[in-house]
Chain A
Amino acid sequence: MEASFMTRARAAPKAENEFSAFERFFREHYPAVVRIAFGVVGEAQAAQDVAQDVFISALRRFPDPGQSEHAAAWVRAAAAHAGLNAIRGERRRDRRQQLSGVEVAPAGPEEAALDRESAAEVRRALARLPRRSAAVLVLRHSGLSYAEVAEAMNIKVGHVGTMLRRAESALRKELSDDSRQ
Chain B
Amino acid sequence: MTHVSSPVLRRLQDEPQAVPDAARRHLAACARCQASNSKIAQNAALAARLLAPPAAAPDDTSLAWARLQASHRASHRASQPAGRAARRATIRVPRPRPRIAGMSLGTGTIAVAGVLVAGTGAAVALTTVYAPTHVAPVRISQDDFRAIATIASIGGTRVTDGLPPAGHQQLPFGELSWSAAGKASPVSSVAQARALTGLPLAAPSTRPAGVGAPRAVVVQPKVTVTIRFSATAGSAVAGSTLVITGGPGALVQYGGTAAGRAQVTTMVIAEMQRPVATSTGSATAAQLEAFLLAQGHLPASLAQEIRLLGTAALPVPVPAGIAEQHVSVGGSAAVLLADPSGAAAGVIWEGGDGVVHGVGGLLNREDVLNVARQLG
User: Could you list which residues of chain A lie within 8 angstroms of chain B, going by C-beta atoms?
Assistant: 1-2, 4-6, 8-9, 15, 18, 23, 26-27, 30-31, 34-35, 38-39, 44-45, 47-48, 51-52, 55-56, 59, 117, 122, 126, 137-138, 140-142, 145-146, 158-162, 164-165, 167-169, 171-172, 175
The reply to whether A141 and B65 contact each other, CB–CB distance below 8 Å, is no
Q: For the complex, is B181 an interface residue (Cβ under 8 Å from A)? A: yes
Partner of A34, one of B59, B95, B219: B59
> What are the residues of chain A within 8 A of B65 when measuring CB–CB?
23, 26-27, 30
Q: How far is the CA of A150 from the CA of B31 in the complex (A)?
A: 31
Known: A56-B71, A165-B7. A140 touches B14 (CB 8 A): yes
> What are the residues of chain A within 8 A of B327 when measuring CB–CB?
none
Residue of A nearest to B71 (CB): A56
The reply to whether B47 and A38 contact each other, CB–CB distance below 8 Å, is no
How many B residues, CB 8 Å from partner? 44
The reply to whether B43 and A146 contact each other, CB–CB distance below 8 Å, is no
A71 CB to closest chain B CB (Å) equals 15
The reply to whether A6 and B187 contact each other, CB–CB distance below 8 Å, is yes
Q: For the complex, is B366 an interface residue (Cβ under 8 Å from A)? A: no
> What are the residues of chain B within 8 A of A38 when measuring CB–CB?
53-54, 57-58
Q: How far is the CA of A51 from the CA of B61 in the complex (A)?
A: 11
Instruction: Give me 9 A-to-B residue pairs in the complex whose CB atoms sit less than 8 angstroms apart, sorted by A's number.
Output: A34-B59, A56-B72, A137-B51, A141-B48, A161-B8, A161-B11, A164-B10, A164-B44, A165-B10
> What are the residues of chain B within 8 A of A39 when measuring CB–CB?
51-53
The reply to whether B58 and A44 contact each other, CB–CB distance below 8 Å, is yes
> What are the residues of chain A within 8 A of B58 when measuring CB–CB?
34, 38, 44-45, 47-48
- Main secondary structure on chain B at its contact with chain A? helix
> What are the residues of chain A within 8 A of B71 when measuring CB–CB?
52, 56
The reply to whether B64 and A52 contact each other, CB–CB distance below 8 Å, is yes
> What are the residues of chain A within 8 A of B43 when measuring CB–CB?
165, 168-169, 171-172
Q: For the complex, is B50 an interface residue (Cβ under 8 Å from A)? A: yes
> What are the residues of chain B within 8 A of A52 when measuring CB–CB?
64, 67-68, 71
The reply to whether B68 and A168 contact each other, CB–CB distance below 8 Å, is no
Residue of A nearest to B64 (CB): A30
The residues in B between 48 and 90 inclusive whose CB is less than 8 angstroms from any CB of A are 48, 50-54, 57-61, 64-65, 67-68, 71-72, 75
Q: How far is the CA of A26 from the CA of B72 in the complex (A)?
A: 13
> What are the residues of chain B within 8 A of A169 when measuring CB–CB?
43
> What are the residues of chain A within 8 A of B46 when measuring CB–CB?
168, 171-172, 175
Q: For the complex, is B182 an interface residue (Cβ under 8 Å from A)? A: yes
The reply to whether A51 and B75 contact each other, CB–CB distance below 8 Å, is no
> What are the residues of chain B within 8 A of A142 when measuring CB–CB?
51-53
> What are the residues of chain A within 8 A of B75 when measuring CB–CB?
56
Known: A26-B61, A35-B59. A5 touches B48 (CB 8 A): no
The reply to whether B68 and A55 contact each other, CB–CB distance below 8 Å, is yes
Q: How far is the CA of A169 from the CA of B6 in the complex (A)?
A: 12
Known: A38-B53, A56-B75. A171 touches B67 (CB 8 A): no
Q: For the complex, is B21 an interface residue (Cβ under 8 Å from A)? A: no
Residue of B nearest to A166 (CB): B6
Q: How far is the CA of A4 from the CA of B219 in the complex (A)?
A: 13
Q: How far is the CA of A180 from the CA of B68 in the complex (A)?
A: 43
